């Protein structure tokens, strides 16, 4: 009996210990689940979750990741480690066909690839995670989620892809593309009022005559082009006076929201642009060598001061910065010469995001909830404020109830200090902006605090200040804001970008025709530009138009007309 009682007591002790152990495990498990929830579905470990992101485009990814203040702050907030993988389209296609493990998150600009990945089960639906981890994805710009479910999905209408850069791109003063001209030489000529292409060409010719070589003896030109961006460089100078933007259908008129017949109309922007450069060539101010050069060669000549007029606002940053560093009072800089009636590539409202910035989560992801949390952060107003403007209290702060960049940060940015982007990580790569940096934060200020009057004032160079003063404005941006209020200047806010996003991808035969048409036009462009007389130019144009028609230009245009009308109908339905 005593032996039996002894065993009973031992059993009770053992069972008590087991229960205590199980209770402790249960408590730890609950705490782990709580931590998993708080960390967006991680395993509950304190170690950061490692996420990789494959993106098409020039991300300048490197093995050490992104050692920037902004990215490190984001990683800290989300408890992640964030690495980028450069993923050119051909590399992505190879990975898809070979079954190679994909990055956790992927960005593609190809809607066909996006749909193929859904059909192949290579991307997952985000829907199970959205309520807990993705509220900003669906609540900010609901037209975007609607578009994605209807047009970038299977019959389930789940959310597989998030188009990034949704919202208004703002008025940042860069003006996109247009008549960017050497300001110092413009002032030398008395800053003439320009009202037509003929007047602009004449002025540029006078600049070349007055400054035939650079300081180091290189020949100067009025204009140049480059050949590795297809039709884009030929067309974009004239786009600002034609109210045309490049779109999925080729080119779109932002006033009418209609597409441009690129290959059948002999008087459209393509031919107007070639005629402009032909006139420049006949005047001896066109760089004929530029018809075989690449983009890098073009920007190299800008940095070297060889061109009087430049296509894009980002192309002359190195020149302007270098000149200001040599002499803070210099007027040697490119500025956007206002021509009455022109438009700036600004204030576009990308309601459905950009169709060439589609972000999805691959089936390879070991932590899809955490991936959704990262995508959601990049679609939150606070998230984009961080990546564009930096850390509150470090790079910006609240002043009189309004967010404002710190003066020393703005001055560093204006001086071209490398640490602004390479150490602080400010104005971070827009490929990772789910919301356009030009959008307004709920606090009433732009997401990018570089886009405020206070910031503009502090960041202006001597040339910027002279430019603004010449036109009676406080900042260079105000020059155009004032002209717009007077009805003399426009932007592209009338463009219904959602129509462009909803345009279906053409079938293979239309794609083949389109490739042939572009090749024919690009082969004919140099002959038209180099024509010695107006009669030779017209002959070159008619020869190219004839070849385009024989290659199927009318069939191509008919398909796009119908597809565009279908996209407009979808847009009207989704925008309700």
Which tens digits make up the pLDDT trace of 149-193? Answer: 988 888 899 999 999 999 988 776 666 788 999 999 999 999 999
Model confidence at 369, pLDDT cuts 50, 70, 90, reads very high
- 3-state DSSP assignment of residue 488: coil
Residue 2 has pLDDT above 70, yes or no: no
Higher-confidence residue: 178 or 284? 284
Range with the largest mean pLDDT of 26-30, 47-51, 452-456: 47-51
Higher-confidence residue: 468 or 18? 468
Q: Is 561 exposed, middle or buried (0-12, 13-18, 19+ CB in 10 A)?
A: middle
- Tell me 218's DSSP state: P
Q: Is 267 exposed, middle or buried (0-12, 13-18, 19+ CB in 10 A)?
A: exposed
Higher-confidence residue: 410 or 104? 104
List the one residue out of 501, 181, 130 whose CA is nearest residue 335: 181
Q: Is 251 exposed, middle or buried (0-12, 13-18, 19+ CB in 10 A)?
A: buried
User: Which pLDDT score, from 0 to 100, does residue 151 have?
Assistant: 84
pLDDT tens, position by position, 539-563: 999 999 999 999 999 999 999 999 9
- Beta bridge mates, 262: none
C-alpha 432/C-alpha 448 separation (Å) is: 14
User: Which pLDDT score, from 0 to 100, does residue 195 have?
Assistant: 87
The mean pLDDT value for 124-150 works out to: 94
C-alpha 508/C-alpha 491 separation (Å) is: 35
Q: Between helices 508-530 and 534-550, what is the axis angle to 10°?
A: 170
Q: Is the distance from CB of 480 to CB of 338 less than 8 angstroms?
A: yes
C-alpha 345/C-alpha 491 separation (Å) is: 6
Average pLDDT, the chain: 87
pLDDT tens, position by position, 37-80: 334 444 455 899 999 999 875 554 444 456 789 999 999 999 99
The mean pLDDT value for 308-337 works out to: 93
Model confidence at 122, pLDDT cuts 50, 70, 90, reads very high
pLDDT cut 70: percent of the chain above it: 90
Outline where DSSP puts E strands in 355-430.
Answer: 358-361, 396-399, 402-405
User: Which pLDDT score, from 0 to 100, does residue 534 have?
Assistant: 96
For the beta carbon of residue 16, count every other beta carbon within 10 angstroms. 10
Domains and CATH numbers, the chain: 49-169+353-432 (3.40.190.10), 177-345+453-574 (3.40.190.10)
Model confidence at 513, pLDDT cuts 50, 70, 90, reads very high
User: Which pLDDT score, from 0 to 100, does residue 327 have?
Assistant: 95
Higher-confidence residue: 126 or 429? 126
The mean pLDDT value for 329-342 works out to: 90
Residue 15 has pLDDT above 50, yes or no: no
Rg value, the chain, Cα = 28
User: Which pLDDT score, from 0 to 100, does residue 40 have?
Assistant: 42
C-alpha 87/C-alpha 283 separation (Å) is: 44
Q: Is the distance from CB of 103 to CB of 364 less than 8 angstroms?
A: yes
pTM here? Answer: 0.78
User: Which pLDDT score, from 0 to 100, does residue 45 have?
Assistant: 54
User: Which pLDDT score, from 0 to 100, does residue 55 have?
Assistant: 87
List the one residue out of 215, 179, 202, 177 whose CA is nearest residue 306: 215
C-alpha 498/C-alpha 150 separation (Å) is: 13
Model confidence at 239, pLDDT cuts 50, 70, 90, reads confident
User: Which pLDDT score, from 0 to 100, does residue 66 have?
Assistant: 61
For the beta carbon of residue 380, count every other beta carbon within 10 angstroms. 18
């Amino acid at each position: 009996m005593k032996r039996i009682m002894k065993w009973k007591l031992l059993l009770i002790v053992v069972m008590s210990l087991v229960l205590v152990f199980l209770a402790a495990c249960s408590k730890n498990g609950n705490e782990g689940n709580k931590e998993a929830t708080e960390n967006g579905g991680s395993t509950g470990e304190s170690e950061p979750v490692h996420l990789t992101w494959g993106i098409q485009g020039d991300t300048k990814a490197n093995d050490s990741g992104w050692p920037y203040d902004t990215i490190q702050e984001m990683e800290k907030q989300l408890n992640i480690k964030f690495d980028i993988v450069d993923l050119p389209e051909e590399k992505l296609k190879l990975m898809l066909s070979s079954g190679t493990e994909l990055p956790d998150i992927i960005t593609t600009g190809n809607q066909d690839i996006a749909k193929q990945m859904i059909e192949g089960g290579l991307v997952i639906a985000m829907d199970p995670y959205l309520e807990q981890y993705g509220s900003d994805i669906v609540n900010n710009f609901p037209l975007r989620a609607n578009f994605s479910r209807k047009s970038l999905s299977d019959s389930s209408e789940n959310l597989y892809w998030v188009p990034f850069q949704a919202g208004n791109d703002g008025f940042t003063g860069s003006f996109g593309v247009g008549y960017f001209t050497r300001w110092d030489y413009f002032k030398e000529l008395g800053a003439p009022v320009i009202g037509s292409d003929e007047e602009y060409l004449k002025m540029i010719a006078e600049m070349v005559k007055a400054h035939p070589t650079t300081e180091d003896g290189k020949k100067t030109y009025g204009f140049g082009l480059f050949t590795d961006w297809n039709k884009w460089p030929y067309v974009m100078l004239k786009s600002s006076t034609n109210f045309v933007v490049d779109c999925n259908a080729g080119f779109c008129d932002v006033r009418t929201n209609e597409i441009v017949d690129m290959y059948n109309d002999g008087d459209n922007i393509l031919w107007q642009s070639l005629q402009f450069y032909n006139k420049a060539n006949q005047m001896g101010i066109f760089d004929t060598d530029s018809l075989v050069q690449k983009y890098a060669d073009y920007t190299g000549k800008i940095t070297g001061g060889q061109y009087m007029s430049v296509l894009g606002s980002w192309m002359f940053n190195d020149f302007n910065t270098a000149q200001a560093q040599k002499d803070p009072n210099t007027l040697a800089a490119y500025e956007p010469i206002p021509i009455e009636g022109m438009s700036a590539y600004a204030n576009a409202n990308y309601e459905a995001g950009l169709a060439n910035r589609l972000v999805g989560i691959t089936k390879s992801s070991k932590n899809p909830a955490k991936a959704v949390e990262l995508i959601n952060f990049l679609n939150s107003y606070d998230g984009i404020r961080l990546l564009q403007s930096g850390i509150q209290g470090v790079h910006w702060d609240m002043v009189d109830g309004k967010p404002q960049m710190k003066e020393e940060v703005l001055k560093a940015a204006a001086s071209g200090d490398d640490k602004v982007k390479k150490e602080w990580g400010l104005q971070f790569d827009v490929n990772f902006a789910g919301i356009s940096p030009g959008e307004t934060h709920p606090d009433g200020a732009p997401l990018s605090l570089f886009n405020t009057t206070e910031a503009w004032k502090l960041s202006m160079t001597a040339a910027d200040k002279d430019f603004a003063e010449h036109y009676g404005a406080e900042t260079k941006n105000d020059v155009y804001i004032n002209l717009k209020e007077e009805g003399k200047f426009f932007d592209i806010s009338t463009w219904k970008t959602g129509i462009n996003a909803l345009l279906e991808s053409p079938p293979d035969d239309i794609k083949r025709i389109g490739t042939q048409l572009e090749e024919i036009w690009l082969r004919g462009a140099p002959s038209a530009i180099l024509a010695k007389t107006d009669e030779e130019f017209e002959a070159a144009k008619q020869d190219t138009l004839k070849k385009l028609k024989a290659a199927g230009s009318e069939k191509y245009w008919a398909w796009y007309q119908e597809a565009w009308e279908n996209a407009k109908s979808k847009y009207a339905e989704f925008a309700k």
